[in-house]
Amino acid sequence: MAQPAAPPLPPPRPDLPAPPADGPGAPKAASAGPQTGPATEADTGCLERLDKLGVRFEKLSPVQEKGCKIGNPVSVSALSNTIEIAPASVMECSYAENLARWIANVVVPRASEHLQSAPTKLLIGTAYQCRDQRSGAKLSEHAFGNGVDVMGFEFDRRPPLRVKFQSEGSPEAAFQSAIQKEACSIFTTVLGPGSDDDHGDHLHLDMRMRKGDYRICQ
């Protein structure tokens, strides 16, 4: 299926306006600084694992913004030496580790299998954002740096691919279906095209903890 030669990074979804870069609406997590208080052994271990995975990141100060918070935040600009994130995104360290493993263990081999290409860039719509779920019942996992919306991918030997309803039977459809299904072994919430009206243009991947390790995979 033909893809646009170089699609621009998607703007924030209309119902989720991006906060201004400066001023009172800017997220507090966006500025790096020293860790406030001693880092725990778990925090340090996670950062060391990111290094081993080849993740390019900047350690940030803990986030506390209204009810939103991230205990061990990092700003990630690449998930390996060959796969960038655009734009650089703030997330919890442990989430960044899971995202890097999904890319390495699922996205890379499935791109080779179905598209005969290697991914070079992950396009992100929303990562950390202090907001409620759409239902308003509770805070979104985005509010804890524990979820991202994947809008698409760029590759080394083919045009970019945007997450959407792909043509049935196409290599793009096989690739997208595979990475969505296999994400369920890593993330506790996986929502994408076909799950509901809100996720037709992206993959929502988060790590919400539920009783009995219950997972939502749609």
Global pTM reads: 0.78
Parent domain of 153 = 40-217
Domain presence at residue 1: no
Rg (CA), the chain: 17
Answer yes or no: is 77 within a domain.
yes
Q: Is residue 5 part of a domain?
A: no
Query: What was the pLDDT predicted at 12?
Result: 44
pLDDT, position 118:
97
pLDDT of residue 133: 74
Low-confidence ranges of the chain (pLDDT < 50): 1-37
Whether residue 9 is contained in a domain is answered as no
Residue 124 covered by a domain: yes
The answer to the question of residue 181 being in a domain is: yes
Q: What is the pLDDT of residues 71-92, one digit of tens each?
A: 999 999 999 999 999 999 999 9
What is the domain count for the chain?
1
**23-41 pLDDT tens trace:** 333 344 333 333 444 568 8
